[in-house]
Structure 1
């Protein structure tokens, strides 16, 4: 019998973010794979275990832990990511081979949605394509950090009839792209919003959204940029890590005429 892997999006931090589809998928899981990212991020796996306890009930299942490889911080970024993913794929393949029996179902519980800035889909796809395992796999979508952020700020992602750009912080330009009035920035380690050279821009920033540690700040970028930078540094120092994102939006003609 083939082994089965389910890649399940679990939302941005609130256990109630799980969809009914995700809960149904968990009911089929025998093994939950947990990637250990060190003591500073142990809350991430603690939440995964809380989700399993809430939604998997009394059925028998087990956790399997493995150390998550770390990315080389020096040198070429894309080369470092390729090296990291190669090492993560080797770990995933070892877990599937050694810890998952024929006919069993294993799961990787992915923060947010597995399609957005996460490597799990690519790695499992490569393992399945290798032909070394009799493997079925599926992806269960989750609530993204972008959805959670805009919901908590009670705002919309896009202006009427306008496009949205989603970018990592290192790719944030000094100006909005042509035809775009909304930019979502993720994976920003360097406060990239500081280099945006636009007047009259609103920012909706959130860290640890959906968790008890949630922090939200919104306002005109020029007014709150310093506060966000300070609060962000304090949060990182207090927790040892930070998971944040933000929406940058400039007013459109429709916004101005509706006042």
Structure 2
């Protein structure tokens, strides 16, 4: 059985057209036993909770994505209150993205710092988005003592050096369908070097569908292709990847297995 440690079920077009039932049915048929639906804006939280909150094999997080901060903003007190809820298992998606948004770096940093503080306050792991901001991301995690709450570097596409620095802080490295792309040699090298006990797998659906589904809307059922690629890179069975990444997931997010 597998887990999808990072997906956006509320952003799927197929969810809008057919409801979430088919997406979840397809995931369960593919032996996906748990999915973590990720919050990206406080304005979306109520709708996301409505969509996924009643499903025992779906958990959710709460946070403001670095690319949403400048446009949407957020109330720090509301973020803190929502993250303290017993049904919220993680803080984020948060982090820094200098690739798509160089205009609002200061705003991103302020938001990121507050997310780290809140994660430590509520003792829940961080879900980190980082793009072209390697030094600042690690520096802010260190300055904020994120080793206390730990977390995951989601959809990792950065260097092995950054991965090792994140591991030193107690973080996990999450691998998405990008690992199956022909251009992802550096990422595949990272996967070879990071211990399986510190890896997670994800889809980041509805984006980044893995080979052989590139060009399609991604969904949690496709996380098995990520696991298969990781297994080949690590020289182990797909069953071992499924078991270890699943245990990593439940341990990090303090979720009881159904």
Higher gyration radius (CA) = 1
The two structures have a TM-score, normalised by structure 1, of 0.31
The two structures have a TM-score, normalised by structure 2, of 0.31
